[in-house]
């Protein structure tokens, strides 16, 4: 009789592995990395960070075994660099250099060239990595966003078979992480989690765009909630003459949490809005370009109105 002869057995083994590593890490059985929360953070005191390392280093091996050799290497690079940044606070220039190298190598691997479209995709991917990192300040927020934007495409679209195990294992690991992050409030992802998770989502979007399952309008719609919060917050800080590279609590999700003290309702609300955006993106897949653009501008206009309506909250 063979052990692990069905996919579900491998999924259960994977869940047990991530849970076991997280449990040992939280309880001090493994080397631990802590970070002191600043006055602009939504957390207080010393927080246990580096949770992403427990997920994405093993996941890079899963990607490698699935034949995604270069993306697996890039995922590992971002995980290690993110962990080093969690520990030593690397310079912004070094982080940007590594991210740019990862983006260019990935786009080359995916068949993008040095045309204007390729340049646009490089800038967009680089912005996405940083945008996602900016939004990783509340318990469960980016993990729930990832569960929605990785899980719904798995259900609604045809995905390359080789990528299915990576997505499924990612979802399982994120649910385990939420138990420790939102449930127990004892483990945080850190840059070792937010950067590779952003990369994984971006990679999935690129793969599905190349396969013709998604277009750019649909991708932007799926992630509109995070894009609007992060981008409008940045523009607002520029307009007010505030330093954009300095840590702050200006994001709408941060200001909402400061009013209700709990993280999970805001994270869940963001995930629910993202789910609606994903369903709309799927719904308009067969629409004409004009109709898709009307839906795109309609959804983003609504989100911008919500953002500006809430502009005084928490200030």
> Tens-digit pLDDT profile for the chain (315 aa)?
344 567 788 889 999 999 999 999 888 777 776 665 554 555 555 678 888 999 999 999 999 988 899 999 999 999 999 999 988 888 989 999 999 999 999 999 999 988 999 999 999 999 999 999 888 878 899 999 999 999 999 888 877 766 788 999 999 999 999 999 998 888 888 899 999 999 999 999 999 999 889 999 999 999 999 999 999 888 887 887 776 666 666 788 888 888 877 788 999 999 999 999 999 999 999 999 999 999 999 999 999 999 988 877 766
Residue 9 covered by a domain: no
* C-alpha 140 chain-centroid distance: 11
Residues 6+ apart with CB under 8 A from 183: none
Identify whether 8 is part of a domain. no
Determine the structural domain holding residue 302 and report its residue range: 33-309
Contact 81, 53 (CB under 8 A): no
Please check whether residue 141 is in contact with residue 266, taking contact to mean a CB–CB distance below 8 angstroms: yes
Residue 6 is assigned to a structural domain of this protein? no
Element holding 36 (H helix, E strand) = strand 33-36
The reply to whether 115 falls in a domain is yes
Give me the number of domains the chain comprises.
1
Encoding tokens for residue 271?
């995930």
CB within 8 A of 173, min separation 6: which ones? Answer: 14, 15, 18, 55, 59
* Structure-block tokens of residue 293: 């653009």
CB 40 within 8 A of CB 249: yes
Lookup: tokens for 118: 């390729």
pLDDT tens profile 51-79: 899 999 999 999 998 889 999 999 999 99
Evaluate whether residue 65 is within a structural domain. yes
Is 139 within any annotated ligand binding site?
no
Buried b (16+ CB within 10 A) or exposed e, 262-293: ebbebbeebbebbbebbebbbebeeeeeeebe
Q: Is residue 3 domain-resident?
A: no
> Is 207 domain-assigned?
yes
End-to-end CA separation in angstroms for the chain: 63
Query: Would you say 191 is a known binding-site residue?
Result: yes
Residue 10 inside a domain? The answer is no
């Amino acid at each position: 009789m063979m052990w692990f002869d069905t996919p579900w057995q491998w999924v259960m083994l994977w869940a047990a592995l991530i849970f076991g590593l997280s449990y040992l890490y939280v309880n001090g059985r493994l080397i631990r990395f802590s970070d002191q929360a600043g006055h602009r953070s939504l957390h207080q005191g010393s927080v246990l960070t580096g949770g992403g390392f427990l997920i994405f280093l093993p996941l890079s091996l899963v990607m490698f075994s699935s034949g995604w050799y270069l993306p697996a290497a890039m995922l590992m690079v971002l995980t290690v660099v993110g962990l080093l940044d969690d520990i030593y606070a690397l310079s912004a220039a070094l982080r940007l250099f590594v991210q740019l190298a990862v983006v260019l190598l990935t786009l080359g691997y995916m068949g993008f060239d040095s045309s204007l479209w390729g340049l646009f995709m490089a800038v967009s991917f680089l912005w996405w990595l940083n945008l996602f990192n900016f939004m990783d300040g509340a318990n469960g927020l980016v993990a729930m966003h990832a569960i929605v934007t990785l899980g719904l495409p798995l259900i609604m679209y045809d995905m390359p078979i080789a990528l299915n195990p990576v997505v499924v294992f990612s979802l399982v690991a994120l649910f385990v992480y939420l138990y420790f992050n939102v449930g127990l409030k004892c483990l945080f992802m850190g840059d070792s989690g937010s950067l590779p998770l952003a990369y994984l989502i971006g990679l999935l979007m690129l793969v599905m765009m190349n396969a013709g399952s998604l277009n750019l309008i649909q991708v932007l719609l799926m992630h509109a909630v995070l894009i609007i919060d992060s981008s409008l917050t940045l523009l607002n800080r520029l307009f007010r003459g505030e330093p954009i590279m300095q840590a702050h609590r200006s994001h709408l999700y941060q200001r909402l949490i400061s009013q209700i003290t709990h993280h999970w309702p805001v994270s869940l609300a963001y995930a629910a809005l993202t789910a609606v955006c994903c369903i709309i993106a799927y719904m308009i897949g067969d629409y004409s370009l004009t109709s898709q653009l009307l839906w795109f501008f309609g959804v983003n206009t609504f989100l911008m109105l919500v953002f500006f309506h809430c502009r005084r909250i928490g200030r």
